Chains A and B, each alone.
Chain A
Amino acid sequence: MTLLQPKDAAEAAEMILWAGSERASLEIRAGGSKGGLGRPMRADHVLDASRLAGVVDYEPAELVLTARPGTPLKDIAALLAAQGQMLSFEPPDWRELLQGGGEPTLGGTLACNLSGPRRLRAGAARDFFLGFAGVNGRGEIFKAGGKVVKNVTGYDLCKLMAGSFGTLALLTEVTIKVMPRPENACTLLLPGLADEAAVGLMAGALNSPHEVSAAAQLPAIPARRLGFADSALTALRLEGPAPSIAFRAEALQLLFGSGPRLDAPESEAFWRKIGEVAPLLSLPGRVVWRLCPPPSVAPKLVAAILEKSPSAEHFYDWAGGLVWLSLDAADAGPDAGASLVRAALKPFGGHATLMAASEETREKVAVFEPEPPALAALTRKIKQGFDPYGALNPGRMREGA
């Protein structure tokens, strides 16, 4: 096991080339905060991107930032905040969920295509990833995309990199689109709704012209873990200039009834916890799934799962398009509930990812939704094209790929 720490793209290319020549595999890592995400790897060496760090260029008026991938996300956030800007896709901090420490970096955030409660309104990391330079598994240095916010020159390889978990190339420089921070924010809380009614309400709110930028439904027990009284909680976030928020909050209350409001700092903390999956954390002996179904079927999906596994807990990060599910590991059985969850999802479409489980479990169970044969064949050919030796993050997404 060798720790390789390239200082630039040229050195990284040489290292990857060397690994190829040795038929050795590399685990790509930077801050090490997402080591527990995906399948466990058995790589021969570690390719540590921590030295590939630092902001290269930031032009607030152009809405564009270029940085090296090992730059800590907190540094990027602080830099943007000083200019009244932000990462609009609200990358969640999953360190507690994944029970690892480390320091989330920009590169890891993009490679795992993170997104938060603003997913519906703004998009995921993929939607803000404008360009990059990288090194593929053949040790070839290349670039794709651009450093401007609007570009269709050539194939959009940024999309291919986002969510490829480092299995196709090492990123050595990335360019992202940044957005202004909303002037103000508030969150409306509506207590006491059952899932079905809450999902109907959230759909109505999101379809209304009142620009709801996040929505969530917490059953009573998960709500209590966030420090709220013993009742289910439906939350709707509004962002924008203060007069606009005041108007829209009134309009929503006319439609859906009134409840307590969280002011801007409270709202920020609340949605950060939703992104972090805080309502289902710190439960010993449980596994956590992230379900991405077509929105309207979610209550039915959850009911089907609860029927089979009464000890399951859940909440809806609704504008994130997600249902988070926690299962008792003992009840869920040796497959961590994979067959239960995926069978329940199958009639509706969508996908489920096993997020938090022991290493042994993640090795045995398909962490990411299995792909049908024609799609799996495309995946294999793409991997083969970019990384024919299987040098980069072996087995991170799929067994043998």
Chain B
Amino acid sequence: MIVMPPPDAAVLARRGAIVAALRGIVPGEGVIDAEIGRRAFECDALTAYRQLPMVVVLPQTKAQVVEVLRYCAANKIKVVPRGAGTSLSGGALPLEDAVLLGMSKFNRIVEIDAANRCAVVQPGVTNLAVTQAAQPLGLYYAPDPSSQIACTIGGNVAENSGGVHCLKYGLTTNNVIGVELVTMEGEIVQLGGKHFDTAGYDLLGVVVGSEGMLGVVTEVVVRLLPTPPGARALLVGFPGIEGAADCVAAIIGAGIIPGGMEMMDRLAIQAAEDFVHAGYPLDVDALLIVELDGCEAEVNHLVAAVEEIARKNGATTCRVSQSEAERLLFWAGRKAAFPAVGRISPDYLCMDGTIPRKRIGEVLLRMKEMEKKFGLRCANVFHAGDGNLHPLILYDANKPGELDRAEGFGQDILRLCVEVGGVLTGEHGVGVEKRDLMGAMFNESDLNQQQRLKCAFDEDSLLNPGKVFPQLCRCAELGRVHVHGGKLRFPDLPRF
């Protein structure tokens, strides 16, 4: 299990005074003190980790956010920001001695600005609500994480969320053009806006994906895109993973970037079909769903091209959706893959590494060996277009030792991802879950640079500490300017 930083006894001792001070800033039900109320916030979607927060604050105005952060900064009290709590990496896991700052009351769509193709929204607005509000104007918000019905834009910004369409349309970072951020010191800064790019360092770019550790976002400007006029999906089955992987490479090699391209392995196909009855073939080892969007002429042109590529790469089944209902049915199985796996196992851990796609065959083979080593099963769903794996490790938390084994299995998978040239997380974030694996990908110097960025925003490490970095930031030490004793010289250098 991951160990969180030890709580500050002095802060815990002042709990009553802290609650009273917070009530002075946020009135009424906005401060949750009773244990039963705080219990609702004890975990996010990484439910294996739970911690009752010291106190929960649900501010309603920007001024309240500023005041809460100023008070906490002045009194050296830690703060954990939270959106809808759908993080799969424990990014919103509370701390025993921290204020949990819930942004759920920032739930207003401020403006849908069609002329500037953007929406201005508060961070507590759900991802799907943005698209729903833009739809009447023929526009939508492209990033669509599977949790889009519940997850909020603020959380998407913190985690740089992806979704099945991000190969073609980008992650959150490519679709957010402005944020209003309150720093831990309580300063309000505008990063970006309705225009492109910034005049200085791209702090918008670093805030997106910073896992709530650089500031609290109080407003977001997202880019809206015209809704594609149509889409069709292909359901393609292969007798082996390699054929499916080669097919994906060939599609991209042919210059086609599908709107979505997903792969499932045998166990995932079986679980999804049993659950949703999407008509998936059950006699294949790998299934691809390839979606092509655009105008009808383009979609038909590309469907024909992909069918041809699939055939050349040994597909044994290939079905093209003939109606919108059928397209959605193809997707229904994939979108329900996680709950479908939930039906065949009491618990599962969802991993999130990315690998170079050409290594997929080898990586899946190694995972099969790990299944034997750990005595657990693993189903695979895979954003095939961008190499983002979601191995689902099946376990039973009620069986002693199984969670530990599942975690060990997960860590081995992620180390393998790094070993083959990939990364620990493609879209779920590091959080607490992958924190202690950061050393597999980054050395001390690499982590120091990331921490220097953190120190520029929050030098006392009060904002969401214990996440992302295996060791807490030592800003004073990192900021020190060393005086060089022995001077290095370059006597041989050419001179002007």
Q: Would you call A208 an interface residue if the criterion is a C-beta within 8 Å of the partner chain's C-beta atoms?
A: yes
Instruction: Determine how close the nearest CB of chain A comes to the CB of B8; give it in whole angstroms.
Output: 25
Q: Would you call B127 an interface residue if the criterion is a C-beta within 8 Å of the partner chain's C-beta atoms?
A: no
Q: Would you call A127 an interface residue if the criterion is a C-beta within 8 Å of the partner chain's C-beta atoms?
A: yes
Residue of B nearest to A377 (CB): B187
Q: Would you call B15 an interface residue if the criterion is a C-beta within 8 Å of the partner chain's C-beta atoms?
A: no
A60-B253, A349-B194, A379-B200 given; A151·B426 CB < 8 A: yes
Residue of B nearest to A371 (CB): B200
Q: Establish whether residues B424 and A209, one from each chain, have CB atoms under 8 Å apart when the complex forms.
A: no
Instruction: Determine how close the nearest CB of chain B comes to the CB of A68; give it in whole angstroms.
Output: 18
Complex CA distance for A126 and B201, rounded to whole angstroms: 11
Instruction: Determine how close the nearest CB of chain A comes to the CB of B477; give it in whole angstroms.
Output: 12
Q: Would you call A381 an interface residue if the criterion is a C-beta within 8 Å of the partner chain's C-beta atoms?
A: yes
Residue of B nearest to A182 (CB): B255
- Scoring A residues 123 to 157 as 1 if CB is less than 8 Å from chain B, else 0, what string do you get? 11011000000001010111110111111111111
- Scoring B residues 170 to 202 as 1 if CB is less than 8 Å from chain A, else 0, what string do you get? 110110000000010001111101111111111
Q: Would you call B429 an interface residue if the criterion is a C-beta within 8 Å of the partner chain's C-beta atoms?
A: yes
Identify which of A12-20, A27-35, A92-100, A325-333 touches chain B: A12-20
By a CB distance below 8 angstroms, the chain B residues around A385 are 452-453, 455-456, 478-479
A163-B202, A207-B138 given; A2·B490 CB < 8 A: yes
Residue of A nearest to B186 (CB): A374
By a CB distance below 8 angstroms, the chain B residues around A143 are 442, 446
A21-B484, A247-B296, A385-B478 given; A123·B174 CB < 8 A: yes
By a CB distance below 8 angstroms, the chain A residues around B210 are 155-156
Instruction: Determine how close the nearest CB of chain A comes to the CB of B129; give it in whole angstroms.
Output: 20
Interface residues of A in 1-58 (CB under 8 A from B): 1-5, 14-15, 17-18, 20-22
Q: Establish whether residues A207 and B195, one from each chain, have CB atoms under 8 Å apart when the complex forms.
A: no
By a CB distance below 8 angstroms, the chain A residues around B354 are 146, 148-151
Complex CA distance for A1 and B495, rounded to whole angstroms: 7
Q: Interface size of A by Cβ–Cβ distance < 8 Å?
A: 103
By a CB distance below 8 angstroms, the chain A residues around B200 are 163, 368-369, 371, 375, 379, 397-398
Complex CA distance for A140 and B191, rounded to whole angstroms: 29
Complex CA distance for A2 and B489, rounded to whole angstroms: 12
A179-B257, A384-B479 given; A148·B425 CB < 8 A: no
By a CB distance below 8 angstroms, the chain B residues around A382 are 201, 452-453, 456
By a CB distance below 8 angstroms, the chain B residues around A386 are 449, 452
Can you offer 12 A-B residue contacts whose CB atoms are under 8 A?
A61-B249, A61-B250, A62-B356, A124-B197, A142-B445, A160-B205, A183-B255, A247-B296, A292-B195, A372-B190, A385-B453, A388-B481
Chain A residues proximal to chain B, CB less than 8 Å: 1-5, 14-15, 17-18, 20-22, 59-64, 84-85, 113, 115, 119-120, 123-124, 126-127, 136, 138, 140-144, 146-160, 162-164, 168, 179-183, 203, 206-211, 240-241, 243-244, 246-248, 251, 292-296, 320-321, 349-351, 353, 368-369, 371-372, 374-375, 377-379, 381-382, 384-386, 388-389, 397-398
Residue of A nearest to B137 (CB): A207
Give the top 3 A-B pairs by smallest Cβ distance, nearest first: A159-B205, A244-B298, A180-B255
By a CB distance below 8 angstroms, the chain A residues around B482 are 138
- Scoring B residues 454 to 494 as 1 if CB is less than 8 Å from chain A, else 0, what string do you get? 11110000000000100000000011011010011110011
Instruction: Determine how close the nearest CB of chain A comes to the CB of B114; give it in whole angstroms.
Output: 6
Q: Would you call B337 an interface residue if the criterion is a C-beta within 8 Å of the partner chain's C-beta atoms?
A: no
Residue of B nearest to A183 (CB): B255
Q: Would you call B256 an interface residue if the criterion is a C-beta within 8 Å of the partner chain's C-beta atoms?
A: yes
Residue of B nearest to A295 (CB): B116
By a CB distance below 8 angstroms, the chain B residues around A17 are 484, 488
Residue of B nearest to A179 (CB): B257
Interface centre among B356, B430, B495 (most CB of A within 10 A): B356
Complex CA distance for A375 and B350, rounded to whole angstroms: 38
By a CB distance below 8 angstroms, the chain B residues around A378 are 183, 189, 201, 203, 456-457
A59-B358, A209-B227 given; A248·B295 CB < 8 A: yes
By a CB distance below 8 angstroms, the chain B residues around A241 are 297-298, 301-302
Instruction: Determine how close the nearest CB of chain A comes to the CB of B405; give it in whole angstroms.
Output: 24
Q: Establish whether residues B425 and A152, one from each chain, have CB atoms under 8 Å apart when the complex forms.
A: yes
Q: Establish whether residues B196 and A119, one from each chain, have CB atoms under 8 Å apart when the complex forms.
A: yes
A84-B255, A152-B159, A155-B450 given; A61·B484 CB < 8 A: no
Q: Establish whether residues B197 and A374, one from each chain, have CB atoms under 8 Å apart when the complex forms.
A: no
Instruction: Determine how close the nearest CB of chain A comes to the CB of B421; give it in whole angstroms.
Output: 6
By a CB distance below 8 angstroms, the chain A residues around B494 are 3, 5
By a CB distance below 8 angstroms, the chain B residues around A203 are 115, 117
Complex CA distance for A14 and B493, rounded to whole angstroms: 13
Q: Would you call B427 an interface residue if the criterion is a C-beta within 8 Å of the partner chain's C-beta atoms?
A: yes
Complex CA distance for A3 and B88, rounded to whole angstroms: 50
Interface centre among A149, A152, A294 (most CB of B within 10 A): A152
Q: Establish whether residues A180 and B167, one from each chain, have CB atoms under 8 Å apart when the complex forms.
A: no
Instruction: Determine how close the nearest CB of chain A comes to the CB of B86; give it in whole angstroms.
Output: 15
Residue of A nearest to B251 (CB): A61
By a CB distance below 8 angstroms, the chain A residues around B188 are 374
Q: Would you call B160 an interface residue if the criterion is a C-beta within 8 Å of the partner chain's C-beta atoms?
A: yes
A210-B295, A349-B194 given; A149·B386 CB < 8 A: yes
A2-B496, A61-B249, A150-B166 given; A124·B196 CB < 8 A: yes
By a CB distance below 8 angstroms, the chain B residues around A63 are 252
By a CB distance below 8 angstroms, the chain B residues around A372 are 189-190
Q: Establish whether residues B116 and A296, one from each chain, have CB atoms under 8 Å apart when the complex forms.
A: yes
Interface centre among A17, A148, A246 (most CB of B within 10 A): A148
Q: Would you call B78 an interface residue if the criterion is a C-beta within 8 Å of the partner chain's C-beta atoms?
A: no
Q: Would you call B229 an interface residue if the criterion is a C-beta within 8 Å of the partner chain's C-beta atoms?
A: yes
Instruction: Determine how close the nearest CB of chain B comes to the CB of A348; give it in whole angstroms.
Output: 9
Other A-B pairs, 7, CB within 8 Å; known A152-B427, A294-B194: A144-B449, A149-B167, A155-B454, A183-B255, A251-B295, A375-B190, A388-B479
By a CB distance below 8 angstroms, the chain A residues around B190 are 372, 375
Complex CA distance for A248 and B189, rounded to whole angstroms: 42
Complex CA distance for A88 and B301, rounded to whole angstroms: 22
Complex CA distance for A325 and B443, rounded to whole angstroms: 46
Q: Establish whether residues A157 and B453, one from each chain, have CB atoms under 8 Å apart when the complex forms.
A: yes
